[in-house]
Amino acid sequence: MNYLILVRHGESRWNLSNKFTGWVDVPLSERGIGEALAAAKELAGFKLDEAYTSELTRAQETLLLILARQNRTGIFMHEDEPESAWMKYSEKIDRTEIPIRADHALNERYYGRLQGMNKDRARERFGEARVLAWRRGFADRPPGGESLRDVCGRVVPYFRRRIMAGIRAGKNVIVAAHGNSLRAAIKYIEGISDENIARLELHPAEPVVYGYRNGRLARRFVVPTYDRPILWKIPGGRRKRG
């Protein structure tokens, strides 16, 4: 069995400030760095073969901290530098090196005019129900921004074309991205309905692990190796402890 690991980034500086972030490129907070290192400890037993992330710093920092725990060197593969150009120099490749592909398809939902706005201020201005629909609904678009349906429109084709290729080849693949881009991927993997996806919460830097066998991905749970319990919120409102 090989594995697909999905990890939302750790707390960012704008998460700390309770701001809508979206495509604004802000780094991890001090707490976020600690969360990423905790995730790295949980995942220490997985030998990672391929890595994917968004074009945003907070997701990339989370990924690099996880790889550092495994003494792995991430090599970012740019569109104008295909992997074949790197791999053909096999004598230069160290076993600790791993290719990373960063792509806009895995970016967070674009929040439009909400970006940079304090979430409490947004609730005061637009109302609690409207803001909740923008944050968790499937088809609702914030002013000038994307809905989760729009995010699925870019995440799912990329996931099917690029990420699943590595999974089918028997590789252990990690994806470090964002709450909404990972919700889009999980919706596709698990066949979650448009209604139930609103109930899916992904906490900062808590890994979601799938095993791949006989052509199917099935969710598995990571046993914590430190003091923090892990709670997985799954469709239907129930919580399962990993």
Active site residues: 9, 108
Sign of the dihedral defined by the CA atoms of residues 194, 172, 108, 230, in that order = positive
Say how many Å lie between the first and final Cα of the chain, rounded.
19
> Is 18 within 8 Å of 118 (Cβ atoms)?
yes
DSSP notation for the chain? -EEEEEEE---BHHHHTTB--TT----B-HHHHHHHHHHHHHTTT----EEEE-SSHHHHHHHHHHHHHTT-EEEE--TTS-HHHHHT-GGG--TTEEEEEE-GGGSPPP-GGGTT-BHHHHHHHH-HHHHHHHHH-SSPPPTTS--HHHHHHHHHHHIIIIIHHHHHTT--EEEEE-HHHHHHHHHHHHT--TTGGGG----TT--EEEEEETTEEEEE-PPPSSS---EEE-TTS-EEE-
